[in-house]
């Protein structure tokens, strides 16, 4: 990963018997200090399974049904321009089979990937409901069939689904989603270095400097300080993330029935990492890997200055998390870095067993 161009990278593997860690590169390209072992980083999309766990726990408690139409839980929210909340279920949101437009594509300056545009927007904060309304101003990519078998459903990642899952959790519990994630996941597992940042633009120490090489530039821009979007606000360490991914599958967070639903997948042809045979369950990807009879479960995510990945074996005995402090959107170098990350995840979970 470092050879592929990452300024700094840290990774950790967790098993019932202990852990293994590795790091490479610099925590800061000026001071040349090493990447801290317990560096805090923005986990991006890797944090979405935290909310999926909360939703599935509510299902297990009988407070929410995966087959519930979104309109029943959030009346009047998914509507307009052909969007129909009566045809989209809670499971569609978690599985990204809703067909809803991605709010991120509608943000002001969404395609203006330049240092100047980043600087102008870095302290802009959005409310989830505001972003959902932005997505509803566009028609859906398709209309889902709520009666179709899971394996046949059409898939497409949309961050609007993530926001709606958060709103569903808040409507059902009457409490902020950040509090539910803390009480039901973070505190239960004793993840001492994990929290939701809200509208804070800063990372706690220790942390490595996050850099972005914007398209058309040869320079690295320090993009460590910015207000995250609501669905990507989890900050953690590789140790905590790896432990969460173990718990996701080993029974510490979900009952047998809920874990079975988590594993019900549909084909995800444009899944993270570019691997073949990728499928998506209720909040997490799956892909076949030689050496792992049950494949691996994983998720990736990127944000200015950070690229994260994590994965686990089907039984939760092994899990791995990686944090890279360089993001180069749309570049061949970024693709090579992502491919190296996928190889690390596969080796840590499969070859090393």
Asked whether residue 272 carries a pLDDT value surpassing 70, the answer given is no
- What's the mean pLDDT in 44-52? 97
Confidence of residue 98 (pLDDT cuts 50, 70, 90): very high
Contacts of 45 (CB under 8 A, 6+ apart): 232, 272, 299, 300, 301, 302, 308
Please say if the pLDDT value at position 305 is more than 70. Answer: yes
Q: Which homologous superfamily is 8-351 in?
A: DD-peptidase/beta-lactamase superfamily (3.40.710.10)
Between CA 202 and CA 231 the distance in angstroms is 16
Closest CA to 241 of 301, 292, 180, 177: 301
Question: Where along the chain do its domains lie?
Answer: 8-351
Q: What is the pLDDT of residues 141-198, one digit of tens each?
A: 999 998 999 999 999 999 999 999 999 999 999 999 999 999 999 999 999 999 999 9
pLDDT in tens, 209-239: 999 999 999 999 999 999 999 999 999 999 9
């Amino acid at each position: 990963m470092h050879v592929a161009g990452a300024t700094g990278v840290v990774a950790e593997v967790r098993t019932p018997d202990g852990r293994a860690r590795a790091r490479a590169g610099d925590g800061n390209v000026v001071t040349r200090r090493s990447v801290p072992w317990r560096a805090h980083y923005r986990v991006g999309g890797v944090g979405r399974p935290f909310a999926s766990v909360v939703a599935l726990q509510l299902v297990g408690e009988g407070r929410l049904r995966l087959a519930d139409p979104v309109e029943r839980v959030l009346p009047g929210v998914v509507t307009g321009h052909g969007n129909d909340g009566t045809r989209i279920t809670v499971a569609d949101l978690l599985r990204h089979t809703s067909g809803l437009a991605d709010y991120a594509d509608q943000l002001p300056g969404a395609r203006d990937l330049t240092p100047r545009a980043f600087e102008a927007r870095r302290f802009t904060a959005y409310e989830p409901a505001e972003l959902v309304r932005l997505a509803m101003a566009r028609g859906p990519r398709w209309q889902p069939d709520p009666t179709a078998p899971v394996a046949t459903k059409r898939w497409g990642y949309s961050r609007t689904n993530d926001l709606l899952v958060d709103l569903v959790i808040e409507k059902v519990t009457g409490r902020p989603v950040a509090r539910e994630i803390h009480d039901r996941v973070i505190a239960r597992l004793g993840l001492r270095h994990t929290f939701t940042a809200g509208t804070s633009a800063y990372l706690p120490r220790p942390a490595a400097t996050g850099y972005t090489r914007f398209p058309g530039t040869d320079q690295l821009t320090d993009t460590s300080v910015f207000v995250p979007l609501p669905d990507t606000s989890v900050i953690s360490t590789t140790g905590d993330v790896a432990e969460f991914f173990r718990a996701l599958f080993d029974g510490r967070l979900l009952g047998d029935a809920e874990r079975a639903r988590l594993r019900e997948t549909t084909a995800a042809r444009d899944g993270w990492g570019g691997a073949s045979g990728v499928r998506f369950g209720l909040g997490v990807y799956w892909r076949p890997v030689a050496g792992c009879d049950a494949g691996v479960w994983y998720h990736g995510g990127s944000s200015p200055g950070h690229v994260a990945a994590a994965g686990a074996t089907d039984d939760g005995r092994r899990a791995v998390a990686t944090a890279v402090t360089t993001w180069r959107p749309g570049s061949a170098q970024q693709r090579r870095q992502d491919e190296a990350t996928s190889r690390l995840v596969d080796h840590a979970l499969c070859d090393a067993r």
